[in-house]
Chain A
Amino acid sequence: MARRTDCLLLAALLAWPLGAAAAEPWTLERLMQGLAHTRAARASFVEKKTVRILEQPLVASGELSFTAPDRLEKRTLRPRPELLLLQGDTLTLERAGQTTRLDLRSHPEVAAFTESIRGTLAGDRQALERNYLLSLQGSEASWVLTLIPADAAMRALVERVRIAGRHADLSVIEIQQANGDSSLMSVQRLPAP
């Protein structure tokens, strides 16, 4: 009996460092939990759009802010001021003195696209998996989440979205379009106001 207990103890001792690693592997689940933990965040961004026929990328910059569960604001300051607000099912764009409102339920392709970023910020795995196949590489300190549209029609527009980050912070959002154009947005977290 004692021998058996010893064996178990030994096994437990041997397994200890391994077990610690196995209990906390860097998984999608943990990434999402970490992201979902963030209730509100602000960041500055610089977005570079690479368009095939252009010699240089187009650059825009401004501020992003997210408030859980579903409010995402993108305030562009350069080259021209504009405000993009995603709240619930409504996308509002203010630009050049005009306000355009879009109901995402009647524009599923726009909805799927915006959900890739909002869903990631919210750590809403269900929302992401509704439209994308997810894969995660790297470690907690430097991860890359790749989203590939599940729907073929969507894939005809967006080839993939790659989001890179450290812990619960996003650092880069890269969108690769099917026609070869792409955009790279670098994000720098700002202290909460």
Chain B
Amino acid sequence: MTRRARLPLAAWLATIATAAAVVAGARYTADLSAFLPRSPSATQQLLVDQLRDGALGRVVLIAIEGESAPARAALSRALATALRSDARFSYVANGAADGTEREREVLFEHRYLLSQQVNPERFAPPGLRAALADTLDLVASSAGALAQSVLARDPTGELHALLETQLSGAARPAYAGGVWSSRDGERALLVAHTAAAGADTDAQESAHAAVRAAFAAAAANSPVPQARLRMTGAGVFAVESRAQIKDEALRVSMLGILLIGALLLAAYRSFVALALGLLPVLTGALVGVAAVAAGFGVVHGITLGFGATLIGESVDYAIYLFVQTGNAAADADRRGAWIRDFWPTIRLGVLTSILGFASMLLSGFPGLSQLGMYSVCGLVAAALFTRYVLPGFLPAGFGVHDLTPLGTRLERAVALAGRGRWLVPALALAAAVTLLAQRESPWAQDLSALSTVRTEDQLYDGKLRADLGAADARYLVVTSGSDAEAALGAAERAAQALRPLVAAGVISGFDSPARYLPSVATQRARAASLPGPGELRARLRQALHGMPLRAQRLEEFVADVARARSGPGLQRADLEGTAMGVALDGLLLRRTGDWQALLPLRAPTSGPGALHIDAARVRDALAGSGALFLDLKAEANALYTGYLGEAIVLCAAGLVAVLVLLLFVLRSALRVWRVAAPLGAAVLVCAAVLAVAGQTFTLLHLVGFLLVVAIGSNYALFFDRSADRGAPAPVVLASLALANATTVIGFGVLASSSVPVLRAIGSTVALGTLLALLFAALQAGRRANGR
């Protein structure tokens, strides 16, 4: 190795070592913060918080199918018992009546602080009289057993009011065999809340494994081999999606690597060349991840997943070096000639790619800007490595199989292609017309376009939710405060504003953490509306006049009221281990710096506005209260379409920058046209084909188009470089064909994936780059023929 070669080698080694250290020490995250804008609005922050930590993400819906109803009920009980003793779950319910005892005790003990009916009027003689008369009617009725048993202590019927109206849910699940069942009676149902947040995919996976193990153990102890377990919920989907993407990404990359390796081996006929050819990619990937880690502090899973795909272009660099130097890349003279003749073209190609990807750096979508950073740094590193370091690695006499014969055949094909040169403008025009004729915008407006969850699974989830009456928590009112008290007080004020909407049918109802834990101020106000023992006795005597009940018999009531007046009040800790406590934990959240109360709204179930909430009316009602109304689905879609719109603008700006760069370097509008026209035509035709095939475009398609331009620009530049001679030299044509074949194989395999995001980018790039090469050749053929 010469001294000249040693300096770049040392620099490379230093870079690799530094990058490896940064990569090893970097923080990686798979949570949804990748989707949070850099400077989020209050609603956007709320949206991501909800998706990440919200109660919704912690819910696992469990169904037991097959066998008979009694067998399913037995399994449901065994499963619930097992999971209740598992620390990975904070709450497990299957409808069996046990466990409600403590709930009732807490309710009864704190009834005067919890009941919304408690106010000074209710405890004045006329109010007391009305309440007592109601309770006696209740005792006389068939529903009066509970009221009768606590009559002496609760003659105003607060427990009944709490159980029947204030705390009762919207819909109650059906029962079979004493446990919750689907309406059709085909499956037993359970609800579990994981202790870990929904976004903690590892913890979710572990919790789901616990459910499976507990079910297997329960099934093993009962003679029911046919019973099946099925789980659904946001966390379940997250785990399944991750596994699916991981499996698919692994499967398609292995297949891609195998196919590309075989192709390159067939072309090079050298294992050394194959191995060395991968070094630019590896260098680029390492530097790319390190750059993201250094620049952003944290690396998103999405960046790792797609980064390597984006710098797939760097495989081409080694191909150009090996093939374009004929079979003598190790020969210093031949390499010198290559650097002189071809390197400027490759360098310009790299620069256009960098400009294109740099536009992504400016995106407000952190996932996208990280991908931009990764690609820019990765490509620079790969190109520099190929130019300055890789040649030093080539052993003496290194050479790949001579592809000149293939190139010569390609040269003849390009010359013939001149007859079809009219195809480029014709196809581009047809594509433009096709795209314009699309009735709807080809861009997906809905975040679910990126979802990997199968429709069938979504329907199943919806069915279980309907059967359980579980909220899908799409609509939320959110209040916040510096402490729990302030957040709860704000929730109570928001509830005041929401009640008229229930009466007007705008919403069918709502939940609030203050139902389970009223603010201290409200508890005090309720306690203050209770009269002292002497006063209460006097009022009771007055109120009970003419009724079959004497005040003297209500001493227990007087004592309970006195306790409620002077007691310590209801604390969060009192609700520990009850369903109310679980509900409270999901609705009252402590965040860094403040507390948040969530009030999920239920949409009307019937009438003209069924299943939909009029956001404007809710916002009007809440105006001035400081409470925010959030339609999670609409917000998520708005966030996504905002990103998409921004990305489209940025890409357009990136393309303009590329054109300016080309104009600056090539110094000829005609040459810029020769480079840009086949690329533009390729993107247009590719988009039209995908649109006709029924794909709606997502962010991933946009990234794919950018990649088509980045990779295709190299092809077009090579054709432009030799435009004066008609077509590029045979070895150059062969190298382009080989480079394109590897790209089409790599992305074609991705296009066969069942994961929508992988399929989107795969189909776009495979088709787009193939078209870019064909169109560049067709255009060159016109020149070759025209001479």
Contact = CB atoms under 8 A, between A and B. Distances in A.
Interface string B644-688: 000000000000000000000000000000000000000000000
Contact of A74 (B137, B139, B142, B164): B142
A51 interface: yes
Interface in B742-784: none
A101 interface: yes
A59 B142 contact: no
Contacts of A98: 164-165
A7 interface: no
B174 interface: yes
Interface string A152-180: 00000000000000000000000000010
Nearest to B133: A79
B172 interface: yes
Contacts of B553: 53-54
Nearest to B140: A58
B549 A95 contact: no
B489 interface: no
Given A98-B164, A181-B148, A51 B139 contact: yes
B179 interface: yes
Contacts of B172: 101
Interface stretch (A20-28, A33-41, A102-110): A102-110
Most A CB within 10 A of own CB, among B137, B142, B144, B550: B142
B152 interface: yes
A106 B178 contact: yes
Most A CB within 10 A of own CB, among B95, B137, B165: B137
A60 interface: yes
A179 B149 CA distance: 9
B548 A58 contact: yes
B634 interface: no
A49 interface: yes
A126 interface: no
Contact of A51 (B148, B175, B550): B148
B215 to A, nearest CB: 21
Contacts of B702: none
Most B CB within 10 A of own CB, among A53, A74, A98: A53
B140 A106 contact: no
Contact of A55 (B97, B148, B179, B550): B550
A95 B139 CA distance: 13
B137 A79 contact: yes
A32 interface: no
B151 interface: yes
B470 interface: no
Interface in A37-82: 47, 49, 51, 53-56, 58-60, 74, 76, 79-80, 82
B137 A80 contact: yes
What size tier do the contact residues of chain A reach?
Answer: 20 to 34
Interface in A82-106: 82, 84, 89, 93, 95, 98, 100-101, 103, 105-106
A76 B176 CA distance: 29
Interface in B143-182: 143-144, 148-149, 151-152, 164-165, 172, 174-179
B454 to A, nearest CB: 33
B136 interface: yes
Nearest to B152: A53
B95 A106 contact: yes
Contacts of A105: 175-178
A103 B175 contact: yes
Contact of B141 (A95, A106, A179): A95
B146 to A, nearest CB: 11
Given A58-B548, A103-B175, A84 B142 contact: yes
Nearest to B179: A106
Contacts of B143: 82, 93, 95, 100
Given A103-B175, A179-B149, A54 B548 contact: yes
Contacts of A107: 97
Given A58-B136, A74-B142, A106-B95, A49 B548 contact: no
A55 B553 CA distance: 10
Contacts of A89: 175
Contacts of B548: 54-56, 58
Contact of A82 (B136, B139, B142, B176): B142
A53 B137 contact: no
25 contacts: A51-B148, A53-B151, A53-B550, A55-B548, A55-B549, A58-B548, A60-B141, A76-B141, A79-B137, A79-B140, A80-B141, A84-B142, A89-B175, A93-B142, A95-B142, A100-B164, A101-B172, A103-B175, A103-B176, A105-B176, A106-B95, A106-B96, A106-B178, A179-B149, A181-B148
Interface of A: 47, 49, 51, 53-56, 58-60, 74, 76, 79-80, 82, 84, 89, 93, 95, 98, 100-101, 103, 105-108, 179, 181
Given A103-B175, A103-B176, 19 more contacts: A47-B140, A49-B148, A51-B151, A53-B151, A53-B549, A53-B554, A56-B548, A58-B548, A76-B141, A80-B137, A82-B142, A95-B142, A100-B143, A103-B174, A105-B178, A106-B175, A106-B178, A106-B179, A107-B97
